[in-house]
């Protein structure tokens, strides 16, 4: 038995099929066979028509109610993501570079578009920041950091800030 290709049907076709069930005097199985439809699909259309007319089981949702529930759940998820972004730490008062750095770190936890909107950074600005090379000042700061950590590591963690940051012109022991 080969699998039948999935077909789509208009709302009018579904309503006409349900009308045939109600007025035709045939069973759902007979109408499904006559129209070359899956019986389960015709049963679902009939059941949904009953729900839409208010004759469904208690607690069942109409199409409009289901769509509203889906929309509200999506909106709720969006609001929860926005709420979970830490804004009270003064991040909004920081410059765009700092906010973009935060977005780069947090992008694994949520959509970039949401992070950018909440932190008031344009998505194009964020992507431009991502593709920029570090400035000369940032490169110099990186080199200083590496030099300080090297001196601190070589002294086995015993160097003080003054000794680490003071440039040495001559080797130890010679004056």
Higher pLDDT, 161 or 19: 19
Domain extent for 38: 11-60
Within a domain: residue 107? yes
DSSP helix/strand/coil, 162: helix
Does any domain span residue 172? no
Give the pair of three-digit tokens for residue 137.
Answer: 């000042």
**2 lies in some domain:** no
Does 146 lie in the same domain as 121? no
Domain presence at residue 79: yes
Residues 75 and 30 in one domain: no
Residues 73 and 127 in one domain: yes
pLDDT in tens, 12-58: 999 999 898 888 788 889 889 989 888 999 999 998 888 888 777 77
- What total number of domains does the chain contain? 3
Pair (78, 116) in one structural domain: yes
Residues 104 and 144 in one domain: no
Q: CA 149 to CA 92: how far, in whole Å?
A: 31
Residues 43 and 72 in one domain: no
Query: pLDDT tens digits for 55-83?
Result: 777 778 888 888 999 999 999 988 887 78
Q: How far apart are CA 118 and CA 81, in angstroms?
A: 10
* Domain contains 56: yes
């Amino acid at each position: 038995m080969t699998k039948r290709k999935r077909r789509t049907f208009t709302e009018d076709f579904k309503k006409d099929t349900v009308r045939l069930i109600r007025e035709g005097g045939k069973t759902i199985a007979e109408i499904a066979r006559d129209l070359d439809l899956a019986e389960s699909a015709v049963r679902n259309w009939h059941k949904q028509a009953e729900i839409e007319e208010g004759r469904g089981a208690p607690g069942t949702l109409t199409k409009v109610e289901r769509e509203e529930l889906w929309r509200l759940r999506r909106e709720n998820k969006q609001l929860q993501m926005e709420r979970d972004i830490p804004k009270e730490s003064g991040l909004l008062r920081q410059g765009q570079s700092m906010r973009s750095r935060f977005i780069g770190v947090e992008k694994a936890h949520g959509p970039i578009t949401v992070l950018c909107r909440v932190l008031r950074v344009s998505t194009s600005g964020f992507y431009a920041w991502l593709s920029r090379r570090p400035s000369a000042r940032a490169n110099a700061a990186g080199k200083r950091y590496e030099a300080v950590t090297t001196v601190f590591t070589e002294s086995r963690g015993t160097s003080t800030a003054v000794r680490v940051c003071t440039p040495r012109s001559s080797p130890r022991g010679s004056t």
